[in-house]
Amino acid sequence: MLVFCEECGKRYSFPPEKVDPGSKKFRCRDCNFLMTIIPPDPERDDDCPLSPDPAVKNDAPADGG
């Protein structure tokens, strides 16, 4: 699980099993910014959260008419 400091951009890597369910507070070692880490939900599949639903079609013309 990758976590980036929202303040300075420092990257941290945590094994997902080390982060308890719920949220956890973590202080950046570089800038002392206090972050809240929320582990991913194992029941959600977010491999491609922005992929369009193939059942939805957009039949509107591209030029507006």
Instruction: Give the DSSP letter string of 16-56.
Output: GGGSPSS-EEEE-TTT--EEEE-PPPTTS--SSTTPPPTT-
Task: Give 17-37 pLDDT, tens digit per residue.
Answer: 777 777 788 899 999 999 888
Q: What is the mean pLDDT of residues 45-49?
A: 52
Q: Write down the pTM of the prediction.
A: 0.52
Residue 2, SS3 per DSSP: strand
**Token couple for 33:** 């910014």
How many Cβ atoms from other residues are within 10 Å of residue 49's Cβ?
7
Residue with tokens 């950046």: 28
